[in-house]
Structure 1
Amino acid sequence: MFVKSLLALLLASSGMAFAAETRPNIVFFLVDDLGQRDIGCYGSTFYETPNVDRLAKEGARFTDAYAACPVCSPTRAAVQTGRWPQRTGVTDYIGAAMKPELWNRNTKLLPAPYSDRLAHDEVTMAEMLKDAGYATFFAGKWHLGPEGWWPEDQGYDHNLGGVDRGGPYGRGKYFVPYDNPRLPDGPDGEHLPDRLANETAKFIQANKDKPFFAFFSFYSVHTPLQARPDLEKKYEEKRSRLGLEAKWGMEDTRQVRLVQEHPVYSGMVEAMDQAVGKVMAKLDELGLAENTLVIFTSDNGGLSTSEGSPTSNLPLRGGKGWMYEGGIREPLVIRWPAVLKAGSVIGTPVCSPDYFVTAMDVAQGKTPSKVDGVSLLPLLRGTTLPERALYWHYPHYGNQGGAPASAIREGDWKLIEWYEEGKKELFNLRDDLGEQKDLAAAHPEKVAALSAKLASWKDEVGALMPIKNPAYDPAKPSGRAAGAPKGAKKKKKK
């Protein structure tokens, strides 16, 4: 309680910095493809996530937290740098066609070019914290460039598993052998999320006497869909006991899952939760929980329209790859017992670039020349943030059926601009969380105002645009159409 009392005195004056000896440790959990509604404390009644639910009970649950992009690599760049993806150049998942001339799908537009690596001159969260005296550690998925641009080249003292891949594509997939050049194989039967949790706990143990930053970036719950046999069996029995079965709707040309009941995906979610629990147990064991800032979030919405469509994001519309809420609204749980009131629920809209600035604030890190996020520390202290707009720009086609688009959210209003047809949709998220009622025709003045702000932001960040595809043939199948929407066996490396 001494630490908490000292911090309370320091925080009494908003202009007073943290004393060096009280700067918090930071543990960041970034889960891949986890939808907001995949967590018990966000309403899932099928998946079991007691450890994340405990984090929310002991900290704060954010209801309106967003990823910076509906696919992974751009969001990861935003988390690492505190900057909009458009400034870093990483605007699509790395592995997609990088230039318009490489595009071979029959779509109305050619996607914009993007960078396939996070540039070395970008200041990462690890570089900022290392400069502030923190030991730094990375475990899991990186997907921000080829060798030479991996975590150890971007400020992380240790890297366990972070390479160019977007998923666990070794022979054993989520089990040994991993075939990962930055993760030596463990014993037969070892499960990847448990291994990464063990490595994170070892790092915490070794650095318990100084400020540390552990970034646990799950490969879970990304495809390939593969669970521990015991957990898959558990959820098969649970599905049968509850009488659940798959139900489908449509999102444009794609089938979208309407019910959470996929046994394999459920097992993947629970294994992720168990890994979180193992790291939290190490903090408890070492007496570090009180002054450790824990952040838990995801990189994009749940996979509901492609590659087995294993989860449902309802009542949110769409999912990964889409500009609707199901593609960008994320779980965000933050725990910091020394500062944050347990059981808080925070409705302020926040986004991926904010985490860098928050870590910089609490660690007294040096400010890079340009960051776009804002510190969430006032919210953690129980006060407010100035109102602001949030923005998205995805000038690409993902693998999930979505199309090139931009969006802005300001207050309760959200505008989506779709580039294929030049259509604009307007939603009031307070009254219509599921984005079912387009209000653009009824509120032309709001459309005009938000469109102007969105256009100004795109200019400021140097957003690149898709262009017309001269080879598009409307008589041929669309490159946005679904392949086999119920085919859980089909995999795509993203």
Structure 2
Amino acid sequence: MKAFLFSWSLMAVALAAGAETRPNIVFFLVDDLGRQDIGCYGSTFYETPHVDRLAKEGARFTDAYAACPVCSPTRAAVQTGRWPQRTGVTDYIGAALKPELWKRNTKLLPAPYSDRLAHEEVTMAEMLKSAGYATFFAGKWHLGPEGWWPENQGYDHNLGGVDKGGPYGRGKYFVPYDNPRLPDGPPGEHLPDRLATETGKFMEANRDKPFFAFFSFYSVHTPLQSRPDLEKKYQEKRHRLGLEAQWGREDSREVRLVQEHAVYAGMVEAMDLAVGKVLAKLDELGLAENTLVIFTSDNGGLSTSEGSPTSNLPLRGGKGWMYEGGIREPLVIRWPAVLKAGTVIETPVCSPDYFATALEVAQGKTAAQVDGVSLLPLLKGGSLPERALYWHYPHYGNQGGAPGAAIRMGDWKLIEWYEDGRRELFNLREDLGEQKDLATSNPDQVTALAAKLEAWRKDVGALMPTPNPGYDASQPSGRLPGAAAKSKNKKK
């Protein structure tokens, strides 16, 4: 009996030691941030020294993707590790919920979707909480009405996570927030800085046990509003560099070609300063070494609508589009205890992979089906088996994109447009800007990728758009992306 108790004591000590070595996890999800909006990805107008530092101390992913070209579906995929089609959240919450509610003159009626992340879904917070983590959410949720907010989905604390997709209170990005989950601070307080402060308080209060902090920025989503000092800084920088707005076209939409929007630049820098504030708190607490930090976005930069504040070039399109500008994201991961500084990873990865990664590094458990794969082998210097990534957006967004689907396998990407069944094929290694459609010259590649895409749609239960009996071709209609839609410079 003594021997048994001694062995059990040793096991308990070992288990306790294992729990102590599990990393803290800090997840930054930025809203509407384009891949090209970060200095380490090539921006020369916006200034992001803190995210750039994160990349120097960790890994920068060149081929990271959002699960959808709009926000709510990607957020559902991040939280659950599952394709949006499995959760039912396939459009931004707030769009017409059912085909019969659709009022626009388009060729198709969009598919129905769910306007909340079901309680039956296992979130990253619920999985980590069951593994002994303290859990915290700050910022934008946009995954359902009250009763489906972060505190109902596994988060111990919720600062600012409600149904709204943006900071739509009286002060917008400044006090008063008019947010039932975020008490107002002093006059002049700026939302990104406040959320960073609250994240730091949570980390300090839980420094002696594993914690999970999910900092979900409202930035850089509209409304376009900057700190006045930062707006002035970038107005002067734009003048000093002699930058002017330049525009091209993506079918019926104008698309911004140059990053020079002073207000947006100020929003990007304020986001970066908030990231820096959280990183500084990790340093102050002595927790940086064994904290897994993930920084990414929920869809591409806003380049064709609502002020079109940024340019995604050399990527084509932007938020709401199946082209790379709508789905390819910045992704920076730092974990000094495991990951070699200055690593560049070219393996294609996607939003559901973050849940799978957290599941493995936290030694967690879930009974739910997880579509993502753990990125831990990549973080340790290894590789992943080649796989296909998929997208299915059976809706019309607000940015000009049309219902469609896509698959990426290796260097090849196939896009299928649902309005007319047309397929476009691109070799992304040779043509990152998706300007040369190779479908006609590579019919076997089109057939193979289309078959994989169709099999995946069946597997995930993807709902399809349907013909619109009320469509009037003689009237202005929903746009159809055209093969002739090329960027042509003009000044405005």
TM-score of Structure 1 vs Structure 2, range by shorter chain: over 0.9
Distance in 2 (alpha carbons) for counterparts of 1:199 and 1:460: 41
In the other structure, the counterpart of 1:221 is 220
- Preserved CA contact (<8 Å) 2:159 2:195: yes
* Conserved? CA contact 1:415–1:424, under 8 Å: yes
1:474: how far off? 1.3
Question: How far is 1:368 from its partner?
Answer: 2.8
CA distance 1:376–1:481, shift in 2 (3 Å): closer
Structure-2 residue corresponding to 1:354: 353
- Separation (CA, whole Å) in 2 of partners of 1:177 and 1:321: 30
2:86 aligned residue? 87
Tell me the equivalent position of 2:309. 310
AA aligned opposite 1:275: A
1:170 alignment partner in structure 2: 169
1:247-258 equivalences under 5 Å are 247-258=246-257
The match for 1:284 is 283
CA RMSD of aligned residues (A): 1.2
Partner of 1:202: 201
What is the Cα deviation at residue 121 of structure 1?
0.4
TM-score when scaled to structure 2?
A: 0.94
CA positional deviation for 1:367: 2.8
Q: Say if 1:65 and 1:350, in contact at 8 Å, map to a contact too.
A: yes
Contact 1:254 1:481 in 2 (8 A): no
Residue in 2 that maps onto 1:212: 211
| Alpha carbons of structure 1 residues 80 and 237: separation in structure 2 relative to 1, 3 Å | same
Please, which runs of 5 or more residues in structure 2 have no aligned partner?
A: 1-13, 482-492
Structure 1 residue 18: deviation in Å? 8.9
Aligned to 1:14: none
CA-CA distance at 1:311 after TM superposition: 0.1
2:388 aligned residue: 389
Deviations for 1:275-318, whole angstroms, at most 9, x for unmatched residues? 00000000000100000000000000000000000000000000
Match of 2:258 in 1: 259
Q: Structure 1, residues 402-445: CA drift from partner, whole Å, max 9, x if none?
A: 00000000000000000111100000000000000000000000
- Give the CA deviation at 1:481: 9.2
Instruction: Among all aligned residue pairs of Structure 1 and Structure 2, give the percentage whose two residues are the same amino acid.
Output: 86
Letter in 2 for 1:187: P
- Please give the residue correspondences for 1:1-40 in structure 2 after superposition, counting only pairs within 5 Å: 19-40=18-39
Aligned-residue offset at 1:246: 0.2
Counterpart of 2:344 in structure 1 is 345
Aligned counterparts, 1:384-463, within 5 A: 384-463=383-462
- Match of 1:20, SS state, is helix
Distance 2:228 2:366 in 1: 47
1:436-489 CA distances to partner (integer Å, 9 max, x unpaired)?
00000000000000000000000000000000011111111123499xxxxxxx
CA contact (8 A) 1:24 1:211 kept: yes
Equivalent in the alignment of 2:121: 122
Counterpart residue identity of residue 317, structure 1: R
- What letter corresponds to residue 37 of structure 2 in structure 1? D
Within 2, Cα distance between the matches of 1:416 and 1:368? 33
The amino acid of 2:146's aligned partner reads E
Would you identify which runs of 4 or more consecutive aligned residues in structure 1 move more than 4 Å? none
1:300 maps onto 2:291 in alignment: no
Equivalent pair of 2:160/2:182 in contact (CA under 8 Å)? yes
Amino acid at match of 2:48: T
Whether the 8 Å CA contact 1:18–1:362 is kept in 2: the answer is no
Question: What one-letter code is carried by the residue in structure 2 that aligns with 1:287?
Answer: G
> In the alignment, what sits opposite 1:485?
none
Q: TM-score normalized by structure 1?
A: 0.94
Which amino acid in structure 1 is aligned with residue 259 of structure 2?
Q
One-letter amino acid of the structure 2 residue matched with residue 393 of structure 1: H
Q: What's 1:52 paired with?
A: 51
Query: How far does the alpha carbon of each residue in 1:318-353 deviate from its partner, in whole angstroms, 9 at most, with x for none?
Result: 000000000000000000000000000000000000
Q: For residue 293 of structure 2, what is the amino acid of its counterpart?
A: V
Gaps of 5+ in 1: 1-9, 11-16, 483-494
- Paired residues of 2:122 and 2:366 also in contact (CA < 8 A): no
Aligned twin of 1:378: 377
Which of the pair has more CA radius of gyration? Answer: 2
Q: Is the 8 A contact 2:419 2:480 kept in 1?
A: no
